[in-house]
Amino acid sequence: MASKQAESRIAADVGGTFTDIAIFHETTGAISLGKCLTTPQHLIDGINDGVRRSGASFDQANLFLHGTTVAINTLLERTGARTALVTTRGFRDIYEIGRINRPEAYNLFFQKHRPLIERELRFEIDERLHVSGRVLRPLLEEDLARIADQIEVAGVEALAIMFMHSYRNAEHEISAKRYFEQRLPGVYITASHELSQEYREYERTSTVAANAYIGPRVSSYLAEIVQHLEHKAFGGGFLIVQSTGGLYDVDSARKECIRMLESGPAAGVIGTRELCRMIGIADAIAFDMGGTTAKSGVILDGAVLMTSNSMIGGYAEGLPVQIPMIDIQEVGTGGGSIARLAAGNSLRVGPQSAGSVPGPACYGRGGVEPTVTDANLILGRLSDTRFLGGDMPLDAQAARRAMTDRICRELNIEAEVAAEGVIRIAASTMSNVVKRVTTERGLDARDFPMVAFGGAGPLHAVLVARELQMPRVIIPNAPGHFSAYGMLVADLRKDYVRTRFTPLEAVDFAELNGLFEDMEACGTQEIRRAAVHVGAIRVSRGLDMRYVGQEHAVSVEIPVAVFAACDLSEIKRLFDAVHLQRYGYCSDAERAEIVNFRTSVSGDMPKPIIAEIAPGGAVPEVPPQMRPVYFTAQDGWQQAPVYQRGDLRAGNQIAGPALIEEYASTTVIFPGDRLQVDKFGNLIIEVQNNVQ
């Protein structure tokens, strides 16, 4: 356990370009920040450097919180382990057949998903369970021995086990895993019931295959961090951010790596929820733009919108992962996204990224291709001397040279025109991720304010808001570290799902409540076992429901009091309302059925409290510097005021055009927009949507 002197919490968010560190000092309530380039060859070096820059040390911390892209990158880049699959006889090819959907019916070049496990490494075993969980064919040890022999010869590094209907009865999977662990001691082994206890054999196969595929690399990475923490005399708890935005212990993370796919982005959405609570708004869209990608999620009625099934790699060619997670949509557009000319000299931005090595051309680290960051520097929206508070000077000439050589010369246009085009294309692309988290759920983005963060988010937020006709943009304090801050306000969390097909009118509330209570007791025990102080335990419940005759269900949050009151009519009313929002229709008369029972158990963690800032008048007290900035092609270069965020006070108002600079980000206020600083120091921008 940590010593009495250890009174700080370290949060580390490792992204594709930058590693962000936020330190919460529990005795003073202060938060200190550090930021440095990610070190892809040895990620712990970047974490170390960031902690050092923040003025903290591991031996004086009682908690280390970590979000990382190592899991999702391993999956998307296909750099995982040589993996085998053991499944029920007759289902070897379900992983490749999938759902036989063709998202682009008229695309002659469409390519279906590629399994992570090749066919020759998918092994069948002659066991079978009934849909009720009753054993139809027993699992025989001689069959396991035969497959273990083949796996040894194949040189497999990881093994996934998925038996039919194991979500109802896990005995066969448990026995198989126990046997393989004894026979194959060096192999990473995972079973489907440990990750998903929902039906749908393809999605369960894909989930356990992905967990096995990324398992050795992620587990090794986490073990390396544990070893490093021990070397640094860290005596506190080590927690990982899940895709649900909750925290879980490192031992669970090493076994259930798939739960950390959206680790960093999920923390940003949790930070957005906390910000909404603090300033008193119920709904918001979280927009996170970093160096490599842009992400978006939704807060609705004070709650984060979740999903139970996500397509990793995109709907058209991606692979499904069936675990609870925040509904986050992502696109490969970030500050490091490379601008290129495609066929017909059409301008394209991303998804290729310069990353941190070599980085954008202006970083002066060997990059020669123009990026979104280079475009912002060319337009004067970034300062070449105050980037990262002056710690990292930028090379404006290198940025202009890259844009001229790769784009302008071929199109015969000026660098400013090309740069503005790059940024507008990026903004248009990023607006699509916001549409995907709103329109597909029957929501209208125009009804939401946008909370923009990430190092590049405030640079582009207003442009994205104008694309979507959103009325307001909110820039939180330290937006470049906001996902790391989100870890500091996250709670321990365990999620459970059970499939039980039940007509709504036939619900036995005693049985139903007993099922929930069993799951919640398990979650409470797991949370209490974590080596950190946890406050109150909270539970939330939900049902996946559909009308009788439908194939797919919608998730419905149900207050615990409704179950206590045994109120079937209220459950049906809540389901009808969600169905209406999602699909535009519902039916009071149609019978409904329950497919899955869901519960999440959360253990409250102590949270930093954001203090109010000093009040000021409508006009900022410190006069701005002036700088030429290129906002639009119509207006060209304009002298724009540049304010330092630390000089602003509550109540200050600024009319665009203007720039607000701070350590790890710059906020762009376009002509016609108006900004006001609230009492917590957030920048509230009213967007003039009739300006294009």
pLDDT tens sequence across 47-99: 988 888 888 888 888 889 999 888 888 888 889 999 999 999 999 999 998 88
Q: Which residue has the tokens 């970034």?
A: 382
* Structural domains in the chain (count): 5
Tell me, yes or no, whether 209 and 185 share the same domain.
yes
Single out the residue of 162, 172, 165 nearest to residue 132, CA to CA.
165
Under 8 Å between Cβ of 338 and 371: yes
CATH of the domain at 564: 3.30.1490
Single out the residue of 373, 399, 389 nearest to residue 290, CA to CA.
373
Tell me, yes or no, whether 188 and 126 share the same domain.
yes
Tell me, yes or no, whether 26 and 112 share the same domain.
no
CATH of the domain at 12: 3.30.420.40
Token pair for 362: 């202006």
Question: Is residue 428 one of the residues assigned to a domain?
Answer: no
Question: Is residue 62 one of the residues assigned to a domain?
Answer: yes
The Cα 401–Cα 368 span in angstroms is: 8
Tell me, yes or no, whether 251 and 354 share the same domain.
no
Question: Is residue 680 one of the residues assigned to a domain?
Answer: yes
The Cα 3–Cα 57 span in angstroms is: 13
Q: Is the dihedral of CA 512, 513, 514, 520 positive or negative?
A: positive
Share of the chain above pLDDT 90, in %: 69
Does residue 690 surpass a pLDDT of 60?
no
pTM of this structure: 0.91
Domain end, chosen from 190, 218, 246, is at 218
**Half-sphere exposure in the Cβ direction for 390 (13 Å, CA):** 1
Q: Which parts of 155-249 fold into alpha helices (H)?
A: 171-183, 201-231
The Cα 640–Cα 654 span in angstroms is: 12
Single out the residue of 369, 374, 375 nearest to residue 354, CA to CA.
369
pLDDT tens sequence across 193-252: 999 999 999 999 999 999 999 999 999 999 999 999 999 988 888 999 999 999 999 999
Tell me, yes or no, whether 71 and 82 share the same domain.
no
pLDDT tens sequence across 350-408: 888 887 788 899 999 888 999 999 999 999 999 999 888 888 899 999 999 999 999 99
The Cα 534–Cα 635 span in angstroms is: 55
Question: Is residue 279 one of the residues assigned to a domain?
Answer: no
Q: How many other C-beta atoms lie within 10 A of the C-beta of residue 604?
A: 14
* Phi-psi domain of 14 (left: phi exceeds 0; alpha: psi -120 through 50; beta: other): beta
The Cα 241–Cα 484 span in angstroms is: 10
Does residue 326 surpass a pLDDT of 60?
yes
Taking all residues of the chain, what is their mean pLDDT, rounded to a whole number? 91
